[in-house]
């Protein structure tokens, strides 16, 4: 009887130890608050950067639109009176148009097909946190997919990481186009000013 009692106590102790170990492993699999805070902060920072890029693009578009309006409305009459400024005016016109084009490209949204398949969900290929991947899906299909993602912690956090990466790529493309737009505007402004000075001073 004593041996049976000892065996029973040991068995209960092993079961208790196993239960604690399973709970500990389960907790270790889930990212801590620090990881979640990092993802949240990164998302907020990237959204702010995207907003800054859009504001810069809007400034460029507004300024160059005003310059084009003034150049077209007032410049035509001046060119008729002073044909010497024709070439600098054309250069400046091309500069403004090119700047506006690249600024608009930086703010132009990009969309994917907006659909995913059941196989994509099972293979964890689609990021359900980005609207461009599901806007053409039915509500029931999207709800099912999100529940599948929520049931799999690895898939959920993988989607969050992919969302950060995708947003970063979009922001990078925005800033590349903005850099081109600002460079064109700067070089074009300098070049047209120099041409204007040269043609006015040295060309009869």
Lowest mean pLDDT among 76-80, 89-93, 98-102, 165-169: 76-80
Task: Please determine, for residue 42, whether its predicted confidence score (pLDDT) is greater than 90.
Answer: no
Task: Please determine, for residue 55, whether its predicted confidence score (pLDDT) is greater than 90.
Answer: yes
Residue 98 banded pLDDT, cuts 50, 70, 90: very high
CA proximity to 124, closest of 81, 99, 160, 91: 160
Q: How far is CA 35 from CA 75, 77, 96, 173, in A?
A: 58, 64, 45, 27
Q: What is the DSSP string of 50-89?
A: HHHHHHHHHHHHHHHHHHHHHHHHHHHHHHHH-GGGHHHH
Per residue in 153-189, pLDDT tens?
A: 888 888 888 888 888 888 999 999 999 999 999 999 9
Q: How far is CA 31 from CA 3, 41, 124, 156, 163, in A?
A: 44, 15, 19, 11, 17
Share of the chain above pLDDT 70, in %: 78
Phi, psi angle pair for 24, to nearest 5°: -65, -45
Global confidence as pTM: 0.72
Q: Where are the beta strands (DSSP E) in the chain?
A: none
Distance CA 59, CA 64 (A): 8
Q: How distant is the alpha carbon of residue 9 from its chain centre?
A: 59
Q: Supply the mean pLDDT for the chain.
A: 80
């Amino acid at each position: 009887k004593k041996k049976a009692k000892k065996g029973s106590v040991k068995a209960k102790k092993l079961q208790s130890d196993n239960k604690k170990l399973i709970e500990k492993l389960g907790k270790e699999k889930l990212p801590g608050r620090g990881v979640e805070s990092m993802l949240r902060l990164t998302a907020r920072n990237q959204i702010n950067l995207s907003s800054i890029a859009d504001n810069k693009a809007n400034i460029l578009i507004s300024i160059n639109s005003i310059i084009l309006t003034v150049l077209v409305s007032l410049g035509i009459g001046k060119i008729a009176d002073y044909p010497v400024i024709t070439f600098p005016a054309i250069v400046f016109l091309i500069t403004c148009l090119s700047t506006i084009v690249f600024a608009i490209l930086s703010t132009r949204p990009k969309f994917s097909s907006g659909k995913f398949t059941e196989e994509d969900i099972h293979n964890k290929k689609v990021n359900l946190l980005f609207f461009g991947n599901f806007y053409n899906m039915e509500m029931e299909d999207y709800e099912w997919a999100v529940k599948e993602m929520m049931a799999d912690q690895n898939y959920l956090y993988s989607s969050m990481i992919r969302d950060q990466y995708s947003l970063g790529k979009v922001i990078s493309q925005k800033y590349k186009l903005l850099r081109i737009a600002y460079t064109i505007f700067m070089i074009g402004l300098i070049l047209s000013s120099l041409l204007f000075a040269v043609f006015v001073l040295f060309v009869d």
